[in-house]
Amino acid sequence: MTGFLAALAFLQVFLYRKKRCLLRGIFFTVLSGLSALFLCSFLEPYLGFSLPVTAGTMKICAVLGMPGAVLLLLGQIFLQLI
């Protein structure tokens, strides 16, 4: 999984560098993903489910950003329904 996240991070750096907004793009991706993770954990009493704030979930949200947090949430909801 670490290799997969590293490959995604490399792809992200390549794409943002091509657009000439490398630091701004990476900063926005990390900030949006981690803020979504912490917001979900903060709103757990109201939502009824939450994501654990661990090193793995923080890495996924930092590399993938907001879509990573949404995918983790959908996985959590799906596993609760089974």
* Structural contact between residues 41 and 50, judged by C-beta atoms closer than 8 angstroms: yes
Answer yes or no: is pLDDT of 82 > 70: no
* Structural contact between residues 69 and 54, judged by C-beta atoms closer than 8 angstroms: no
pLDDT digits (tens, 9 = 90+) for 4-46: 667 777 777 777 777 777 777 778 888 888 988 898 888 888 8
Give the span between the Cα atoms of 25 and 22, in whole angstroms. 5
Q: Token digits for 29?
A: 């991706």
Could you list the residue range(s) of the whole structural domain that residue 13 is in? 2-81
Structurally, how many domains does the chain consist of? 1
Residue that is written with structure tokens 């990476």 in the block: 26
Global pTM reads 0.73
Where would I find the H helices in 43-82? 44-47, 55-64, 66-81
